[in-house]
Chain A
Amino acid sequence: MSTSTTPRIPTAPLAPVAIPRRMSPRRWMAEIGWRHLVGLAAMAFAVFPILFVVSASLNPLGTVSSSGLLPKAFSLVHYEALISGSRGPFLQWYLNTLIVCGVVAVTQVFLSTLAAYVFSRFRFAGRRIGLLSLLLVMMFPAILAMIAVYTMISDLGQVIPVLGLNSLPGYIVVLLGGSLGQVWLIKGFFDTVPKELDEAAIIDGCSHWQVFTKILLPTLTPILATTVLLALVGVLSEFLLGSIFLTADDKKTLAVGLYGLLQGDRSNNLGVFAAGSVMIMIPVIILYQFLQRYIVGGSTAGAVKG
């Protein structure tokens, strides 16, 4: 991973390197045209499930058998059903998900940033061991210990009810177990900022906290925001712990709620499920398009999406 911790932000596509003369059609086909054919095929493969979701969400019948790639009819009934809550408290799920994902992603990245700052800028006993054990611990699949986490949280709920089972704060603190997950990634970002910057600030009388908040954080804001977004989409897909912890209908997240909706009556709830998916997917896709250049950098640096 070390070889790639530096974000590799690709240079903007170069302007076409002068096309001196027009190629003959046959030559064009052999050199470039076939590339477009491959590209179009790949685009078709990439897009068809997304098209399917959109068209299923608009198909008034809302069954698997009647849904195809292109909508046969246009209707917003499924969106209405979702918003009105007749198939489950969808808006509540949406809100729960926003809360969980927002809090977890921001806290995770913030705590990782704190730790990454120390690992990047300070030299102290146990630093090397700390960094390496972090790498090791983060590789262990936390969900394997789900039984233990379940009993722990059920016990904690007896002392502090708000942190128990079937409560969003309880679920959130468990997910915060991954709080140091982005340390290596963010340490890579910190390492790219020249040390001379903070040394100058220290000479000017800044404390270590001021160096962190006034010098380094502002420099790294865009890439940290992207890291938050990637973490957010990761949390969005957390399903296993959610399905064990959040059983009450009004406590569910979208992943748990929509899964239940689809499992409950797959043939008839597809339309509603698709409408719900569109309402989650479209904002994320648009955000990704805007942040494309940062995401490319962030993903090369070793963030694997869940």
Chain B
Amino acid sequence: MSYQGKFRVWRGDDSGGALEDFTVEVNEGEVVLDIIHRLQATQAPDLAVRWNCKAGKCGSCSAEINGRPRLLCMTRMSVFEESETITVTPMRTFPIIRDLVTDVSFNYTKAREVPSFAPPKDLAPGEYRMQQVDVERSQEFRKCIECFLCQNTCHVVRDHEENKEAFSGPRFLMRVAELEMHPLDTADRVDQAQDDHGLGYCNITKCCSEVCPEHIHITDNALIPMKERVADRKYDPIVWLGNKLFRR
């Protein structure tokens, strides 16, 4: 049942580092995070890794396994060959703190830049009425566990530090879409999405949707509909003419 697995784990800090080789016991039913924990307990007590729930619900243990952005706690060892060497590296888009831990503050900065839910002024708490079918669109986006794997994989920022200023990334463009589709939100978020959060940078390659551990259809259900709304507003010739004539 158990075997000795071969691992290469990136170790280092902001001044540099390298892949380190380990041979470590692997048991039936384990996930990659179990192996990282075994390394901590037996070979590398100061190996830094973030984790919390170990059930795919908190989005803390994001990393890259054989180059693929994944949650360490939801990647079963059984998907690999026993002879395979498994490489674990930190998320590439964010600055390294130590070992597998990166500085994800970019995401918290972007979160703050999205104007919050604007509740209807005439409804008291307890008076909100919404139909299930109407809340479901935003509910899909609220499944997001903020693992930031979509942010990490998005090519707009993955190798383009210079785009980070203008581009909020799939997670927070999806947050804008979530609020835009909230049945009772009173703010207009279409122009914001394009002008303040860089929706135009996205060229819908769907990498974000592919790595999402919650299987949220980020591109199809959030980004493309937002792009359509932007196009309707900004590029529809009749709306354009109306705006010119009546100066909204």
Chains A and B are bound partners:
no
